[in-house]
Structure 1
């Protein structure tokens, strides 16, 4: 069992893990047959209660509530074992593999760690632990029959599971990328920290067997590793779950930012027949805001169609080529020049439509490029390409 200078870290870590578990319950109800989701919920549940019950105040409270000295020991150790098994099961189901292999390994680890948890409880009842030891249980009872076996069993079971889990995470991280790789790279050291935790406590237990006193490793050193390991573990599992959504939201926000120059240029363009709905940014989901923004921009570009001048576009295109732009970039620059001139003409001569019109030349994925062209340092020079059209208009 653990102790430390404060209960806050244990309760905070446990509360976060249980909250994440609670958020997954609706999905678990809908997908009862999903082994990955079941394993994730078991891990979050066991880890959450493990952190809460391992807090020093919880240990003392549980012993006092039940009236059984040291009852918190088998409870915490059984939860530790459940967490270890759930970690392995989750990683096994998480990693792509033939279904029959995944099912076979899942059954193996569930059976092994389920029996280990039962053995821990049985060994506690078989032994005698009359003196309450909320912080030094492992060292104090290291030589007591049955209890010493219980202590070694839970430490070895957890250490073995965490070693395997860390190796699997690190090896698998080399085969994937993105948020999944980041999560696995966080989980690998998190599990190694738990291995160190187990090794430190086993060292103190072994010292008792040989007549030495290294009890400070149990109540002073090893507890310092518990909360960081749990927090890193929670982060490691959370990153792959929320990473894609965060990346998607970041991409949407980036597009909204990139569309700002085009939005500033076209936001006041009248769009007869198009319905405009105000979407306050502070209460509108980014995806909805982006869809609305693109719809408005397309409506505005369509409304400017009668004012587009092919001569302006042609002049801007050749000027961009002379300035060293590639063909595709010059085409976008020319489109931006034509839009600017059309916007100025629509503003200065409302209601006076030129006789010739042309079709809208942009597709959905061109809006950002068009906006970036308007934001380029040469944007202010694009207005000079209105000269050909203005001369043509005066000539007519």
Structure 2
């Protein structure tokens, strides 16, 4: 029977504490990152559910470590006091997960509030039942990794074990199903996160099923302790990784997309900046950015410097050059938007050449003044610098732009 094999702290072939502590610390760090937002938005039920879930998930892993269980039992002087504490945390995790998905998924507000109230009430009752059943039962022999199997036939303790396993399994299964269904209705990082959460929570269901099989085996005369202390805990690390990544993706996805977009725009604006970097801009601010500046900050700075250069070139911009370049671009088959960008690029190139002293400053009738450059104009303008029309102006600056179409 080997019942004594798991007596006492640290004994028995249970799982390594390191896995539980690493998972717990990971969840706790993510939880701490969300606390400032919760303090600013105290009435945000969804954010509160996120913080509760992450904090409780961290507690689950901390309390699941055999060393933590032994320390809690020693601190209270009550054998197996850690059992109802750990089971309450596990059940609360299932309830918080279901509550979070219920509030996260779009639904009529009244329906969401009603479902939230039911969820909170049910899981509060389950937690209360777990603790009441423990104190009604008798569990004098400390069990750190085989508590479920050792006390599976003990009155009241048996009911406590079944209550937590069923409540946890039902909650995580419902959460997994809701995540998968919702993932079919959304796109992007939210969809990817939900597709990770669904199997992550399903692994929690597997944990409960494995333990229930072991308990059923015990009732039928079989000792399958290895399912409790070896097989079931193996779902801890992969489920934690999937759940952590599943919640991180929707949170980090938009920021990652924004960063990627900023880097792409910086790359696209490089030709325009190379064209304008030598343009004198006396009034521009030239303080350098710290090395840790984000791509978004660098992009804003780059656009500002480009705007300053374009403003400095405004007195040299010739509307006639733009008009000739526009006709040439349209004659080459470019659509109107592309032709406008090409015409602007040609005007900027000629203006830069004039400012450098290679040509006269246009008179008041030909200079259009500062162009209303908008943020979405800059990337097309930058790309248009590689147009054959602009290349023709570079090669033959004294020839009208129309001639470039006949080169």
Using the size of structure 2 for normalisation, the TM-score is 0.88
Q: Which residue of 2 aligns with 1:182?
A: 192
1:183-332 correspondence to structure 2 within 5 Å: 183-272=193-282, 274-280=283-289, 282-332=291-341
Deviates more, 1:165-174 or 1:20-29: 20-29
Where structure 2 has 5 or more consecutive residues not aligned to the other structure, the ranges are 1-5, 7-11, 402-407
User: Secondary structure of 2:399's match?
Assistant: helix
Match of 1:353 among 328, 336, 361: 361
Q: Give CA-to-partner distance per residue, 1:304-362, whole Å, 9 cap, x none.
A: 12323344434443443454433321221232222223223322449x52324123264
8 Å contact kept, 1:3–1:54: no
- 2:383 maps to 1:372: yes
Task: Return the offset for 1:49.
Answer: 0.9
- The alpha carbon displacement at 1:24 in A equals 2.3
Farther off after superposition, 24-33 or 149-158: 24-33
Q: Does 1:33 align with 2:43?
A: yes
Deviation at 1:5, TM superposition (A): 4.6
The CA distance in 1 between the partners of 2:193 and 2:288, in whole Å, is 35
CA contact (8 A) 1:3 1:56 kept: no
The SS at the match of 1:339 is helix
Query: How many residues end up aligned between the 2 structures?
Result: 388
- Aligned partner of 2:134 in structure 1 is 124
Preserved CA contact (<8 Å) 2:134 2:157: yes
> Taking structure 1 as reference, are residues 339 and 117 closer, same or farther at Cα in structure 2, changes over 3 Å only?
same
Give the match for residue 393 of structure 1: none
Tell me, yes or no, if the aligned pair for 1:179 and 1:243 is still in contact at 8 Å. yes
Say if 1:320 and 1:25 are closer, same or farther in 2 by CA, change over 3 A: same
Aligned counterpart for 1:13 among listed residues 9, 23, 28: 23
Between the aligned partners of 1:24 and 1:87, the Cα distance in structure 2 is: 16
TM-score, length-scaled by structure 1: 0.90
1:24 aligns with 2:34: yes
Deviations 1:32-77 (A, max 9, x none): 2221122111111111111111112212222233232222211111
SS in 2 for 1:97: coil
What is the alpha-carbon distance in structure 2 between the residues aligned to residue 269 and residue 170 of structure 1?
Answer: 55
SS at match of 1:259: helix
Contact 1:183 1:238 in 2 (8 A): yes
Q: 2:49 touches 2:96 (CA, 8 Å); kept in 1?
A: yes
Query: Within 2, Cα distance between the matches of 1:176 and 1:7?
Result: 38
Tell whether 2:352 aligns with 1:343.
yes
* Aligned-pair CA distance for 1:158: 0.6
SS in 2 for 1:387: coil
